[in-house]
Amino acid sequence: MGTPSSEIITIDGGVMEGGGQILRMAMAFSTLLRKPIRVTNIRAGRSNPGLRPQHLTGLQLVRDLCGGRLKGGEIGSTDISFYPGPVKSGEFVANTGTAGSICLILQIALPCLVFSIEASTIMIKGGTDVTSSPPFDHYLMVFKPILEKFGVKFDCNIVRRGYYPKGGGEVVVKTSPVASFLQPVDIVTAGQVTHFSGRSFVAGVLPIKVAHAMADSASRVLRQAYPGVPLKIDRIKEPSEVAVGNGSGIVIMAETSTGCLLGGSALGRKGESAEKVGEAAAKELLDDLNCGGCVDHHLQDQLIIFMALAKGESRIKTGPVTLHTETAIYVVQLLTEAKFNLVKDEVHNSCIIECQGIGLQQSSD
């Protein structure tokens, strides 16, 4: 872990993507490297600037994880200061009280917890399937197995699913400490798609036929692009005891001959047909596959922090680099010695992201 520093680093939260990502990345690195930070102009690029409940919940969770001091931690605040302590192990609870994305709260907490001394457990309450982030099934099907390549070990249990606007979802995550360092990854050879799998779901008052319509529509699009490739999409009516409110959506994953995993997803919305939802998820996945990328556009920015922390050079091949990814790299280079290089292929609209990580080491603080 990092050596404590007394000099505070000021970060403009309104640059580039201008949303909550700068805050999440800055808080995670502040905690891991023991560097105090001040973040100004928080979410200046949004129509409702400042901290929203899910952002504040994430900040408070990380404060609790390390026994740090947080100034300016209130709804609507556009300026916070954070003074971290050493990461602790234990049991923690985070509750957004809204449909705030559980995945986004994990973005800030998981990198910290894998560098704690012992196993830890977090119970997070919020939204599992909401518009502000990929659905939690994407996290389980795509993000988790890829993260394991770095040596990150954690288990997730979806106790209850929660949808916009009610929220009420609940996920329990159990983390194990990293052995010593995170391992670098090399994910640059896409290979051939070997099969598609997925999950099409409805909850609440919505009938199962909606799940069938989404799955059938997605299957038609995928079979047209990849005839003969095995495809299986489960169609699910969530039991009332494990889902709060009404919701629908579909998550699809492609696996390739080289072990790459890419996902596409879409959520049901009022006024949009189930067929359109299924088609949108399939097209999102195909867009990433057609670039020859090895990780999808949801995943690329989430991997940046782990590439930066790993020991050695990591490489991932993506489609077009997203603004979220550029923002993540900006924050990494502001706070660490990690070096990134982007090798763009304009012809195929793809990019190889290279990173020489800092090799953060497990500490016995």
Catalytic residue set: 324
Q: Which residues of 209-222 are buried (b: 16+ CB within 10 A; e: fewer)?
A: ebbbbbbebbbebb
Lookup: tokens for 345: 């292929």
Q: How far apart are CA 122 and CA 172, in angstroms?
A: 6
Q: How far apart are CA 254 and CA 312, in angstroms?
A: 28
> Vertex 145, ends 144 and 150: CA angle to 5°?
90
Closest among 295, 334, 330, 346 to 316, alpha carbons compared: 295
Name the maximum alpha-carbon separation found in the chain: 60
Let me know how many helices (H) and strands (E) the chain has, helices first. Answer: 9, 17
How far does Cα 306 stand from its chain's mean position? 12
Burial status of residue 91 (CB atoms within 10 A of its CB: 0-12, 13-18, 19 or more)? exposed
Q: Which residues contact 269 (CB under 8 A, 6 or more apart)?
A: 277
User: How many other C-beta atoms can be found within 10 angstroms of the C-beta atom of residue 331?
Assistant: 26
User: How many other C-beta atoms can be found within 10 angstroms of the C-beta atom of residue 38?
Assistant: 18
Q: Order of strands across the sheet with 350-356? A: 186-187, 313-318, 350-356, 339-345
- Angstrom distances, CA of residue 243 to CA of 57, 65, 170, 174, 200: 22, 28, 9, 21, 14
DSSP 127: B
User: How many other C-beta atoms can be found within 10 angstroms of the C-beta atom of residue 48?
Assistant: 7
H or E stretch including 173? strand 169-176
